[in-house]
Structure 1
Amino acid sequence: MPHIPLPENLPGISSGFAFRPETAAPMRELAHVLLYTSGRNTDLSSRDRELIAAFVSSRNDCTFCKMSHGAAATHLNGGDRSLLNDVWTDFQTADISQKLKALLAIAAAVQIDGKKVTPEMVKIARDAGASDLEIHDTVLIAAAFCMYNRYVDGLATLQPQEEGSYLQMGARLAEQGYVPPK
């Protein structure tokens, strides 16, 4: 049961966005730039960006964000969810690049406390091929998802538990992004 009267038919962040559209617009735009458009313009793909968002959301135990961004990452991975499960279980042993492992280590540190990111972590990421933009965006994705996760959970929004509830949403996010069509 949400802590304030939110639209009953909208799950997760969607209900908060409907409650306060004027704050929803910049939050949607930030997610759109970080996860959708930037993933088409840099070497850090939208799939990897969604994996970072789902990873941080998993560590924050936010079901809605974990599942919706996990579904987007899975869609961008050709429908194969095994990579997502491996990242959630132990990203260091997952079948991903050393660069993405280094970026996930940075995201994990940001999820705890931004001051936990060390020069050594950044060096490892750079040595693995990460650009300054990719390091920047990883930190911002992790920080933003801490905010999004706390927004969703702090309002006690409706969060379906079954994976199937998120498949269509994940496909839409992966294909269309985060800003509603005009």
Structure 2
Amino acid sequence: MPYIPLEDHLPGITGLLEYRQDSAHPIRELTQILLRGPSALSEAERELIATIVSHSNECTFCTTAHTAAADKLLGEGQTTQAIKNDIELAPVNDKIKALLIIAKQVQQSGKMVTSSSIKRAKNAGATDIEIHDTVLIAALFCLYNRYVDGMSTRLPDSNEYYQNLAERLVTNGYNRLPQGYDHLKKP
């Protein structure tokens, strides 16, 4: 049960962002830039970063939501499961493995990022901007995970919610829907 009154039809982060739209706007804008803006990293790869951080933070809502979005973008579900089990054995290239490891280090503490991790990423072909964006995405999802769990937001009633959310994230990005979210209310 959420610690503050939130709309019942908006579990997880969506209810919080609707509750305080003025603070939600810059957060959504930053997330849109980082996860859907121009980048050498694909949208799926950036969703993998969100997934691994949320999974490492044990945030059920965010892990499930970003796993669903990454799966939709990748067209399969094995990669997200593999990175959660063992990044080193996951079917991603060496650059993405190195960036996911950096993301996990950020999740623990910014001070956990090591020069050897950065060197490994650069040796695997990561650019400075890709390393920067990985660290910033990881830090942003730590904020989201703590926001969602710190306010004790509720989980959706069914997995179908996550599939619909993934579809919205893939087609609309992280922008607020122009019509709002009343259409999600159950009759």
Q: TM-score, normalised by structure 2?
A: 0.92
Amino acid of the structure 2 residue aligned with 1:133: I
**Offset of 1:8 from its aligned partner?**
1.4
**Is residue 143 of structure 2 the alignment partner of residue 147 of structure 1?**
yes
Distance 2:158 2:95 in 1: 32
Residue by residue, what CA displacement relative to the aligned partner does 1:20-43 show, whole Å, maximum 9, x if unpaired? 110110111111111111xxx222
Q: 1:161 to 1:100 in 2, by over 3 A?
A: farther
Helix, strand or coil at the partner of 2:71: helix
Task: Provide the aligned C-alpha RMSD in A.
Answer: 1.2
Query: Counterpart in 2 of 1:67?
Result: 64
After TM superposition, list the pairs within 5 Å mapping 1:61-100 onto structure 2: 61-78=58-75, 80-100=76-96
**Offset of 1:103 from its aligned partner?**
0.3
After TM superposition, list the pairs within 5 Å mapping 1:21-60 onto structure 2: 21-37=21-37, 41-60=38-57
**Offset of 1:168 from its aligned partner?**
1.4
Residue by residue, what CA displacement relative to the aligned partner does 1:117-164 show, whole Å, maximum 9, x if unpaired? 111111100000000000000000110000000000011001137533
Q: TM-score, normalised by structure 1?
A: 0.94
Q: 1:109 aligns with which of 100, 105, 110?
A: 105
Number of aligned positions between the proteins: 178
**Is residue 117 of structure 2 the alignment partner of residue 135 of structure 1?**
no
Helix, strand or coil at the partner of 2:64: helix
Report the more deviating stretch, 164-173 or 42-51. Answer: 164-173
Residue by residue, what CA displacement relative to the aligned partner does 1:83-103 show, whole Å, maximum 9, x if unpaired? 110011111100100000000
